[in-house]
Structure 1
Amino acid sequence: MKVLVIVGSSRGKGNTYKVTKQLEEKIKELGDVEFKYLFLKETNLEQCRGCFTCVTRGEHLCPIKDDRAKIEEQMLNSDGVIFASPVYVYNITALMKNFIDRFGYVS
């Protein structure tokens, strides 16, 4: 089984990463599971422009050329995805919010 962990921390390997590593250890006790980590701070994921091309014509026609397609491929090639974000000002980080905005219409 393959699990992709998407980390939305701007600190990278801070507390959020440490918690996901603890989770990884516990899950691996249950069986053979391969974990891969994707740090949003290391990706080129531009902000949504609100053009609605993804809604009207399909996400694959998004005019923004960045790492979105590569990230989607990694997600589709995984059996499970874990989303991890620290809480900043009572909310998820801007990195994770941008990720959600960009992937909101992926089906």
Structure 2
Amino acid sequence: MMQGLHSVKDSYRGRVVALQCAPTFDDIAAFQSRQGDLNAWDQCSIHYASKVTAETFLEIAPNSLDHVDVIVNGPKDFVTAVAKVYVAAGGRKLIRVYGFDNPRHRR
């Protein structure tokens, strides 16, 4: 998913807030080096959390969950967990699932 963001960074005009989740930061460290200049892209902020929570959504959302599109990538259990906490945080829009092996899945 981060590679996908990198591929559109020169043409995408919106703001991107990325959240990477894993038990420890070391678990995602390998992905950090592959992001290239995403860390320097002023339209993108990248966050880490050991798990996604409603509080996490509210902390990193630019203004309001009413004005964001949530795109999630990961195993089915993770996608389900993200959908639940998104709703708990007040999210109302459909969540889009991105992945090569995930069937179309909408909340």
TM-score (norm. length: structure 2): 0.40
TM-score (norm. length: structure 1): 0.40
Task: Give 1 or 2 for the bigger CA radius of gyration.
Answer: 1
